[in-house]
Amino acid sequence: MLRRLISRETIARLFLHQGSQWPAKHLIEYLQAMAQSIKRLTSQVPGFDTILGGGLLAGSSYILQGRPGAGKTILANQIAFAQARQGGKVLYITLLAESHDRLFQSLSTLRFYEANRVGKDLTYLSLFRTLRTEGLTALVDLLRKELARQGSTMLILDGLLNARESGQSNLDVKAFVSELQGHAAFSGCTVLFLTSARIDDSSPEHTMVDGVLQLDEELFGSRTVRRMRVTKSRGSKALGGLHHYQICDSGIVVYPRLEAHLHHPSNTDHAPTNRVPSGIDDLDGRIGGGLPEFSATAVVGPGGSGKTSFGLNFLRLATPEQPALHFGFYETPARLASKAHALDIDIDELVTAGALSLLWNPLTENVIDGLAYQLLEAVETRRVSRLVIDGLAGFERAAVDSHRVIEFLAALTNQLRTLNVTTLCTWETRGLSAPALNASSPEVLSLFDNVIGMQLDEVDGMIFHGMKVVKIRDSAFAPTVTKLIIPNSTTGVILSDPGKHEPDNAGHAPRS
């Protein structure tokens, strides 16, 4: 589309300016303006327009390809109904043997489907027989007439492979695609060709269309993972790589790969100098008054070392004006409340006052990017000031591709810093001593402004809870291991004198 528009308009302009010198600067500005003036469609498929660099280009043609069951028909219909809701007219052609009743039956399980629009804003025609008996040329003639008669703004052809098989040679299919494309572009109609065949990159269809989307469904261990890739997109800066998508009752939801979408944070970063109380007064005294505002802190340690308890103390200071969010993978909200109760923190009261929200995603089947978008949206819409992510491992477990976890966490923490939220992330390590972790995962820890190690020390057969400040952004701190005491019914956690190793006389060990 872009190429067509640019070549036509540019040649005309250059022709008019023959004789005079066309300044290169003006030409570039003109081409940029042309690119910006191209209309993009709003698909209303969450995340879909983002991976396409802004959406499908009106009047362009696309191939949606993927194995049977990948979700091509659902995606195309979801886009079609969105067009209809926005005043568009859609012509949906099936070149498959399957009946439309079956199609409507399966679409009716999805929320975007509106039966009353079928036959009005969306026309479904089965041209399987026409194609079989009369061939591609007759099909093109019929389509041209229908498009003109209905004033269609979108044409969807489900079953491009069938069209391909009826062609005597590749040339026929090329002519078929070209005819439809030309006609559609002239009338500003967007064309989607759906195919379950894996058409290779050098095929005529690929060469001719403006964009190609590949929908993949793969097995990772015993889990099914759906991912989408824009393999070609003329005139658009599409997001590269594989993007997770899910099919649910609302239809398709695409999760643009976080590190590609937010490779630079979408807001401006601040360099604040204020301190935020951590909820542990003695700790604040040792780190210059509290955690640096809008920073990200990793609280690292083995199971049972007090990470969740630290988080709960941090949340205790939330107010309705400066609310907090607990984003956890382990305890259900009820179990978290009972854990907090043992620390004399009333979670229900904080929730009722509007000072705290709880988001719990069990460690079952999660989409890593889906978790991140859920978290970022909650932080943004609720204007969260204090955030606890209980269990970075929750993201790690959700990642099917473990190579991207560092980049993913970098994008996530960078974005959080720009959302004016002070974040505390817990991360469970093996072994009793937290500092051992530093050596094994230096890259992860370097993503955080502050690192606090929680540890369990064994002395004479007794377990001690210890806390060690490993780093605090731009600050000096006391580097000693401090003994952590959790009193039974007073508020908060207190720290004993640095270096002292006394048994936990409260007898109430915090659990993480």
Ligand X SMILES: Nc1ncnc2c1ncn2[C@@H]1O[C@H](COP(=O)(O)OP(=O)(O)OP(=O)(O)O)[C@@H](O)[C@H]1O
Residues forming the site for ligand X (CB under 6 A): 66, 68-74, 106, 109-110, 196, 247-249
Residue 306 binding: pick among ligand X, Mg ion, none (C-beta 5-8 Å cut-off by kind): none
Taking the least distance from each CB to Mg ion, the nearer of 73 and 166 is 73
Residue 460 binding: pick among ligand X, Mg ion, none (C-beta 5-8 Å cut-off by kind): none
H or E element that contains 386: strand 386-390
Taking the least distance from each CB to ligand X, the nearer of 106 and 488 is 106
Taking the least distance from each CB to ligand X, the nearer of 364 and 489 is 364
Q: How far is the CB of 218 from ligand X (least distance, A)?
A: 14
In the numeric block, which tokens belong to residue 294?
């809008």
Residue 417 · residue 380 · CB < 8 Å: no
Residue 476 binding: pick among Mg ion, ligand X, none (C-beta 5-8 Å cut-off by kind): none
Q: In degrees rounded to 5, what are phi and psi of residue 244?
A: -65, 145
Taking the least distance from each CB to Mg ion, the nearer of 72 and 243 is 72
Residue 88 binding: pick among Mg ion, ligand X, none (C-beta 5-8 Å cut-off by kind): none
Q: How far is the CB of 468 from Mg ion (least distance, A)?
A: 57
Q: How far is the CB of 384 from ligand X (least distance, A)?
A: 31
Closest CA to 151 of 218, 83, 221, 225: 83
Q: How far is the CB of 96 from Mg ion (least distance, A)?
A: 7
Residue 185 · residue 59 · CB < 8 Å: yes
Residue 479 binding: pick among ligand X, Mg ion, none (C-beta 5-8 Å cut-off by kind): none
Taking the least distance from each CB to ligand X, the nearer of 74 and 280 is 74
Residue 202 · residue 170 · CB < 8 Å: no
Residue 69 binding: pick among ligand X, Mg ion, none (C-beta 5-8 Å cut-off by kind): ligand X
Q: How far is the CB of 161 from ligand X (least distance, A)?
A: 9
Distance CA 412, CA 387 (A): 13
H or E element that contains 65: strand 61-66
Residue 253 · residue 107 · CB < 8 Å: no
Taking the least distance from each CB to Mg ion, the nearer of 96 and 359 is 96
Give the 3-state secondary structure percentages of the chain, helix then strand then coil, rounded to 5.
Answer: 40, 25, 40
Distance CA 129, CA 139 (A): 10
- Contacts to Mg ion from residues 48-107, by CB under 5 A: 73
Q: How far is the CB of 225 from ligand X (least distance, A)?
A: 13
**Burial of 220 by CB count in 10 Å (0-12 exposed, 13-18 middle, 19+ buried)?**
exposed
Binding site for Mg ion (CB under 5 A): 73
